[in-house]
C-alpha cells in the first residue's frame, strides 16, 4: 500500500542560498515538503548556480546537489510588490526558512513579528552565521571560518603539522540538519498551540555545540585537547588510522573484547596479557608503546589481508577509501544511496540520496529547478493570481 509521504502537507518558503540552508531544506523536500525556493532576481538567483566546475548558464552540478525536489520563484523582496507576494505565500505556508546574515531577516521582514498578522501559525526559521544576537550578528560566516573559530582545526591534523579543516563542510551540513529539525519542531508546536515563532539557529552555535565531550573536558576539567597522530581518538586506544603495506585502514577497539580479538588476529596474544595494555586505562597511559607495535605489524600486509581477518573476528574496521571507492562499496548499493535525475544540459545526473529515512516510500527524484521555473504554477495555482494581477506585480518589480 502506498502511503503519503511524511511531509506532503508541509509548505516551506525558503529564502536560501549556497550550501547550509539548501542542504537542510533538501531533506525536507525529499520527505515530501513543498519547498518554494525564493531566488533574488537582482543577482541571478542562488549564487551556487554559478559554482565551477561543471557549470553551465544558470546551473551547476553544485546547485543540483542541494536543490532537488524544490520549486523556484524569482522574487525581489526589496520591493513592496515582492513583499506582497511573500505575504500571500506566508498566508498559505507553514514556515519561512532562510539562511542569511543575522541582521538580514529583520531587513527583509522575514521574522515572526513581521508575518504573524497574515498567518499567526507561521514558523520563521533563520539559519545565520552567528545568530540574530551578539556582537557578530551582522557579520557573514562560512564553514571554514567557523571550523577555525570553534576550535575544530586545532584538533584536526597531525600533531607536528598545521591545523586542518575537515574535507567536507561539516558545519554547514550540520547547521542545515539543525535548522531543519528546529523548523519541524516549530511546525509541530504551531499546529498544536495555534501560535508560530522564530527559530534562531546559527552555524556558530552548531560548531560550538558539536564540541560535545571535548567541550565538557575543557570547561569542567581544564583539559586542552591536542591533535592526535593518525587521527586517533583522544582517549581510546587503539582507535584510529593505521598504515598497511598498500594503504590505510581504520581500526576501532572501543571495548575490551575488540582489543583481545585484535591481538588474536595479529597473532600477538601476549599484548592482551601485557599489564601495560591489558586495560583501557593502561592502553591510554602506554599508547605510544602500543601504537608503535601495532604500526609495525600492520605495515607487513596489504589492507585487504587485514580487513578480511579483522571483520571475520568481529573487530570494527574499515578501509580509508577514495570517494570513488566509497560509491563502489556493496553497502552503498544495498542501501540505495545513489539516485538519478535527468537534466537538459548535464544529462543523467547521479546524486547521493538523502540519508533521512522515514517509512518505506520515497519521493521520485526531480532535478533542481531552473530559476523561476515554477512562477506560473505558484502564482496562478497556489496563490490564485489572474493574468492581470501577475502583470501588475511584474510592472511593480516584484519579479525583478
Between CA 68 and CA 229 the distance in angstroms is 39
Overall CATH class of domain 229-320: alpha beta
Measured CA distances, 41 to 170, 371, 382 (Å)? 29, 9, 21
C-alpha 17, offset from chain centre: 14
* Fold annotation for 11-210+335-395: Rossmann fold (3.40.50)
pLDDT band at 313 (very low <50, low <70, confident <90, very high): very high
Span 194-209, mean pLDDT?
98
**Distant-in-sequence, close-in-space partners of 56: CB < 8 Å, separation ≥ 6:** 345, 346
Task: Identify the pLDDT of residue 100.
Answer: 96
* Tens-digit pLDDT profile for residues 156-195: 999 999 999 999 999 999 999 999 999 999 999 999 999 9
Task: Identify the pLDDT of residue 1.
Answer: 53
Between CA 123 and CA 188 the distance in angstroms is 10
Task: Identify the pLDDT of residue 3.
Answer: 80
pTM for this one? 0.94
* Tens-digit pLDDT profile for residues 319-376: 999 999 999 999 999 999 999 999 999 999 999 999 999 988 888 899 999 999 999 9
Task: Identify the pLDDT of residue 360.
Answer: 85
380 touches 390 (CB < 8 A)? yes
C-alpha 306, offset from chain centre: 33
Tell me the β-bridge partners of 34: 11
Instruction: Label residues 35-50 b or e (16+ Cβ within 10 Å = b).
Output: bbbbbbbeeebbebbb
C-alpha cell at 295: 604500526
Between CA 397 and CA 347 the distance in angstroms is 34
SS3 35: strand
Q: Specify the length of the chain in residues.
A: 400
Task: Identify the pLDDT of residue 81.
Answer: 98
Between CA 96 and CA 14 the distance in angstroms is 6
Question: Choosing from 34, 76, 94, 172, which is the catalytic residue?
Answer: 172
**Residue 177, by phi and psi: left (phi above 0), alpha (psi -120 to 50) or beta?**
alpha
SS3 296: helix
In percent, how much of the chain has pLDDT > 90?
Answer: 97
* Tens-digit pLDDT profile for residues 264-294: 999 999 999 999 999 999 999 999 999 999 9
C-alpha 93, offset from chain centre: 24
Domain-wise residue ranges, the chain? 11-210+335-395, 229-320
199 touches 179 (CB < 8 A)? yes
| Look-up of cell digits 573484547 | 257
pLDDT band at 146 (very low <50, low <70, confident <90, very high): very high
**Residue 11, by phi and psi: left (phi above 0), alpha (psi -120 to 50) or beta?**
beta
Is 172 a known active-site residue?
yes
In percent, how much of the chain has pLDDT > 70?
Answer: 100
DSSP string over 92-151 = T-SEEEE---TTHHHHTT-SHHHHTTT-TT-EEEEEESS-SSSTTTTS---HHHHHHHTT
Amino acid at each position: 500500500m502506498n502511503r503519503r509521504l511524511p511531509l506532503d502537507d508541509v509548505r516551506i518558503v525558503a529564502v536560501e542560498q549556497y550550501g547550509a540552508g539548501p542542504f537542510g531544506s533538501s531533506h525536507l523536500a525529499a520527505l515530501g515538503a513543498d519547498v518554494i525556493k525564493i531566488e533574488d532576481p537582482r543577482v541571478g538567483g542562488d549564487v551556487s548556480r554559478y559554482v565551477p566546475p561543471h557549470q553551465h548558464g544558470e546551473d551547476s552540478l553544485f546547485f543540483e546537489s542541494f536543490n532537488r525536489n524544490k520549486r523556484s520563484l524569482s522574487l525581489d523582496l526589496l520591493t513592496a510588490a515582492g513583499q506582497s507576494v511573500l505575504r500571500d505565500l506566508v498566508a498559505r505556508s507553514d514556515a519561512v526558512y532562510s539562511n542569511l546574515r543575522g541582521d538580514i531577516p529583520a531587513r527583509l521582514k522575514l521574522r515572526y513579528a513581521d508575518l504573524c498578522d497574515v498567518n499567526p501559525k507561521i514558523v520563521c526559521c533563520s539559519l545565520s552565521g552567528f545568530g540574530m544576537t551578539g556582537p557578530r550578528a551582522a557579520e557573514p560566516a562560512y564553514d571554514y571560518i567557523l571550523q577555525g573559530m570553534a576550535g575544530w582545526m586545532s584538533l584536526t591534523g597531525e600533531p607536528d603539522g598545521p591545523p586542518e579543516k575537515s574535507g567536507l563542510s561539516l558545519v554547514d551540513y550540520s547547521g542545515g540538519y539543525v535548522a531543519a529539525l528546529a523548523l519541524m519542531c516549530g511546525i509541530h508546536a504551531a499546529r498544536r498551540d495555534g501560535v508560530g515563532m522564530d527559530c534562531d539557529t546559527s552555524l556558530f552555535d552548531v560548531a560550538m555545540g558539536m564540541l560535545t565531550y571535548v567541550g565538557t573536558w575543557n570547561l569542567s576539567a581544564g583539559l586542552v585537547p591536542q591533535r592526535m597522530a593518525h587521527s586517533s581518538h583522544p582517549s581510546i586506544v587503539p582507535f584510529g588510522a593505521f598504515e598497511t603495506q598498500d594503504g590505510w585502514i581504520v581500526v576501532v577497539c572501543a571495548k575490551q573484547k575488540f582489543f583481545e580479538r585484535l591481538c588474536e588476529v595479529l597473532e600477538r596474544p601476549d599484548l592482551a596479557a601485557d599489564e601495560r595494555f591489558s586495560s583501557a586505562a593502561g592502553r591510554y597511559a602506554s599508547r605510544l608503546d602500543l601504537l608503535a607495535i601495532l604500526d609495525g605489524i600492520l605495515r607487513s600486509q596489504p589492507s585487504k589481508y587485514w580487513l578480511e581477518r579483522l571483520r571475520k573476528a568481529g573487530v570494527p574496521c574499515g578501509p580509508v577509501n577514495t570517494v570513488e571507492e566509497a560509491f563502489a562499496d556493496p553497502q552503498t548499493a544495498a542501501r540505495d544511496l545513489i539516485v538519478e535525475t535527468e537534466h537538459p544540459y548535464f544529462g543523467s545526473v547521479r546524486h547521493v540520496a538523502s540519508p533521512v529515512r522515514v517509512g518505506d516510500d520515497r519521493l521520485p527524484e526531480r532535478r533542481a529547478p531552473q530559476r523561476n521555473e515554477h512562477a506560473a504554477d505558484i502564482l496562478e495555482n497556489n496563490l490564485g493570481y489572474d493574468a492581470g494581477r501577475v502583470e501588475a506585480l511584474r510592472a511593480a518589480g516584484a519579479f525583478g
